[in-house]
């Protein structure tokens, strides 16, 4: 199978598994991104996510993962649905990627495992290694280089057709392909994500301070209390504001995967409904979903703060 034929075969295989877009990038050392990552971490914008410092060399140079690697197959998987968040003061918000039935890591890894199993049959001497937001790789950088989209001012990857509500998966391989041209940055003069971010976390175009980000605070912060100056605006796990306001997320491209549609047992629960949960009930309700990452104490902490802020609204 020649390079063009095996590229088409791999693209079709991935689309068959439900991925929306497939791109191919040539691997090389990420010199520019390495400097930017180092500066971002040294400035403290990564907050307490110390794991971002782990495997730094692998993040910027994929040959440190395996010297055989020549290419990245980057994949987009939609998760947005036509279901809106309830616009009621007594109902808290959970980010769209987390309000469904299953953790996206598990859903997508199962698909990648199937894809790679077939690739290993057809390309038995070649190397394949996949990641879903869970390895020492710069997922968004490779997605941009593979032509899935451009890096938006809100630091999400944006596709001109289906926006930014998609998961990114990457398969590293020693196969070589015809590589994509970067997509033009279409943010241009738009700054709506900067102006609408309620905490100023997007402090500059293409730059985010996790210390001020509602998503970081409600998911990764392990402290008993959250900073007083961070108003959660009703969000108790994650935050979708900078994506909700993006013009490229108004095109009504939605997933058909039932795993990511909101569950009735979650989406209409009030603050008091959630606050009444025991730890055992919390674990059962959110079993197999990303919300478990916040842990029971963190989730209750978020609820109490968000409810207090909503109660004090005029």
Task: Express each pLDDT in 66-104 by its tens digit.
Answer: 999 999 999 999 999 999 999 899 999 999 999 999 999
Return contacts of 206-210, CB within 8 angstroms, 24+ apart. 206/151, 206/152, 206/153, 206/155, 207/40, 207/45, 207/155, 208/45, 208/154, 208/155, 209/45, 210/45, 210/46, 210/47, 210/49
Contact 275, 304 (CB under 8 A): yes
Q: What is the pLDDT of residue 291?
A: 98
Task: Express each pLDDT in 193-205 by its tens digit.
Answer: 999 999 999 999 9
Q: What is the pLDDT of residue 1?
A: 57
Quickly list DSSP for 243-298.
HHT-GGG-S------GGGSPPHHHHT--HHHHHT--HHHHHHHTTTSGGGGGHHHH
pTM of full prediction above 0.75: yes
Query: How many C-beta atoms surround the C-beta of residue 300 within 10 A?
Result: 17
Q: What is the pLDDT of residue 57?
A: 87
Residue of 48, 133, 174, 273 marked catalytic: 133
Q: What is the pLDDT of residue 54?
A: 78
Flag whether pLDDT at 314 surpasses 70: no
- Judge whether 133 counts as a catalytic residue: yes
Q: What is the pLDDT of residue 10?
A: 98
Flag whether pLDDT at 38 surpasses 70: yes
Phi, psi of 49, rounded to the nearest 5 degrees? -80, 70
């Amino acid at each position: 199978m020649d390079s063009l034929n095996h590229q088409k075969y791999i693209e079709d295989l991935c689309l068959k598994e439900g991925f929306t877009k497939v791109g191919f990038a040539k691997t090389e050392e990420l010199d520019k991104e390495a400097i930017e990552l180092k500066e971002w971490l040294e400035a403290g914008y990564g907050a307490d996510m110390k794991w971002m410092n782990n495997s730094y060399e692998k993040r910027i140079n994929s040959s440190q993962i395996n010297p055989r690697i020549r290419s990245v197959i980057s994949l987009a998987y939609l998760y947005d649905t036509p279901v809106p968040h309830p616009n009621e003061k007594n109902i808290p918000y959970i980010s769209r990627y987390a309000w469904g039935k299953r953790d996206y890591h598990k859903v997508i890894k199962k698909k990648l495992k199937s894809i790679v199993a077939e690739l290993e049959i057809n390309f038995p001497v070649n190397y394949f290694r996949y990641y879903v937001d869970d390895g020492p790789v710069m997922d968004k950088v490779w997605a941009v280089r593979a032509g899935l989209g451009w890096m938006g001012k809100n630091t999400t990857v944006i596709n001109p057709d289906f926006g930014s509500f998609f998961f990114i998966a990457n398969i590293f391989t020693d196969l070589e392909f015809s590589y994509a041209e970067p997509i033009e940055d279409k943010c241009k003069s738009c700054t709506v994500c900067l102006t609408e971010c309620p905490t100023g976390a997007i402090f500059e175009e293409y730059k985010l301070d996790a210390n001020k980000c509602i998503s970081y605070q409600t998911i990764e912060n392990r402290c008993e209390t959250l900073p007083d100056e961070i108003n959660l605006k009703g969000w108790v796990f994650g935050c979708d504001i900078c994506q909700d306001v993006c013009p490229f997320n108004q095109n009504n491209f939605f997933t058909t995967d039932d795993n990511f549609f909101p569950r009735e047992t979650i989406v209409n629960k009030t603050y008091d409904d959630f606050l009444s949960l025991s730890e055992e009930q919390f674990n059962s309700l959110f079993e197999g979903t990303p919300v478990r990452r916040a842990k029971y104490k963190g989730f209750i902490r978020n609820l109490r703060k968000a409810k207090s802020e909503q109660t004090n609204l005029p």
